[in-house]
Amino acid sequence: MPQPQAPLVLTLGDPEGIGPEIALKAWAALRPGGPVFAVAGGLDILSHTARFLDLPAPASITDCTAAHDAFPNALPVLPERPGSPAVASIEDAVSRVRSGEAAGLVTNPVSKAALYAEGFAFPGHTEFLAHLTNDMAMPGERGPVMMLAVPGLRTVLVTIHQALREAITSLSAGRVVHTARITHQALQQDFNIASPRLALAGLNPHAGEGGSMGREEIDILAPALEQLRSEGMDISGPLPPDTMFHAEARERYDAAVCLYHDQGLIPVKTLDFHGGVNVTLGLPIVRTSPDHGTAKDIAGKGIARADSLIAAIQLARQIAQNRNQAR
């Protein structure tokens, strides 16, 4: 009899946010057919939340291999490690993916301010995950690169959480090339697209209008495109950002390389505000996350939607399967 695939592992996220609630709601939605997952720690808060939501009490398990048997009846929860619940959950989850006990990682939202108050030394989740996996071998270029994905659109970001003025100043041909290379290899490895098509967004209105509205397209983006095309990459651009996200335009590429945060997130959230998934490309482990924050303002009210977390779990399973097939 074939062995079941290793389950996924979820982090608890901020215990004071909506992470526990949406983890339970995702389990309730996925329990009939999976994907199977376990949560790293947080049994007490998850048990309390389950009572509030009138859901079955979570099941305490010792390792991910027990998740398959528990999942049809209860949300499987792994033992809690000492330390900050949010950080300990991340560390435990990563260790289980590294060992092969879990197939991939899905991270619930954390409060950066709360982590910083506890002495957290990394800008956020993604940088911490890169640190925890830095010694692992992987093919191709190493990230991390942020992708936002909804049905019909994938965007990746060259710059992320920077003031717009700083993001523009920090743009370089090298950063664009690095982001596009990682995106190209991820589309092949993680999304099973044999010949990826990329589209590079321009920075200025009308993609600079031949330099009359800015020279970044000429001085930065054109050299990047030349380099990438010389490597055999199918990449169009620079495209005017206001005309590259309508339905017909999206059919011409598999991922859009965007230059700053809002350029990539506005079209994704416009298409599917509740179902977006954050995927970290260029890591040796599979990592996805819901595309929203801790939402502490609605925590404990029972009204949080689990759509994005469910989509993140489903995409993590698909990426893990694609990586296995690629090997």
Are residues 215 and 107 both part of a single domain? no
Q: Which tokens in the block code for residue 248?
A: 């017909």
Beta-carbon-side half-sphere exposure of residue 234 (alpha carbons within 13 Å): 11
| pLDDT score, position 119 | 83
- pLDDT category at 4 given cuts 50, 70, 90 is low
Q: State the total domains in the chain.
A: 2
Q: Taking the model in full, what pTM does it have?
A: 0.95
pLDDT, tens digit (0-9, with 9 covering 90-100), for 186-230: 999 999 999 999 999 999 999 999 999 999 999 999 999 999 999
Could you tell me which of 91, 10, 111 has the C-alpha nearest to residue 58? 10
- pLDDT category at 94 given cuts 50, 70, 90 is very high
Ranges of beta strands (E only) in the chain are 8-11, 37-40, 59-60, 76-78, 105-106, 145-150, 153-157, 197-201, 234-239, 255-258, 277-281, 287-290
Mean pLDDT of the chain: 95
Q: How far apart, in whole angstroms, are the C-alpha atoms of residue 129 and residue 280?
A: 10
Q: Is the pLDDT of residue 231 over 50?
A: yes
- pLDDT category at 254 given cuts 50, 70, 90 is very high
Are residues 95 and 157 both part of a single domain? no
Are residues 150 and 129 both part of a single domain? no
Are residues 95 and 214 both part of a single domain? no
| pLDDT score, position 161 | 84
- Domain CATH code at residue 59: 3.40.718.10
Are residues 69 and 156 both part of a single domain? no
The least confident of 83-97, 123-137, 147-161 is 123-137
- Residues contributing to the annotated binding site for substrate: 125-126, 269, 278, 287
- Residues contributing to the annotated binding site: 125-126, 161, 206, 261, 269, 278, 287
| pLDDT score, position 120 | 85
Are residues 173 and 133 both part of a single domain? no
Bond into 238 cis (ω within 30):
yes
End-to-end Cα distance, the chain? 22
Flag whether 31 is in a domain: yes
Flag whether 288 is in a domain: no
Flag whether 287 is in a domain: no
**Amino acid identity for residue 266 in this structure:** I
Are residues 1 and 63 both part of a single domain? yes
Are residues 126 and 168 both part of a single domain? no
- pLDDT category at 114 given cuts 50, 70, 90 is confident
| pLDDT score, position 5 | 87
Percent helix, strand and coil across the chain, each rounded to 5?
45, 15, 40
- Give the domain extent around 164: 140-282
Are residues 183 and 132 both part of a single domain? no
Are residues 31 and 11 both part of a single domain? yes
Which percentage of the chain shows pLDDT scores above 70?
99
Flag whether 256 is in a domain: yes
Are residues 119 and 176 both part of a single domain? no
- Residues contributing to the annotated binding site for a divalent metal cation: 161, 206, 261
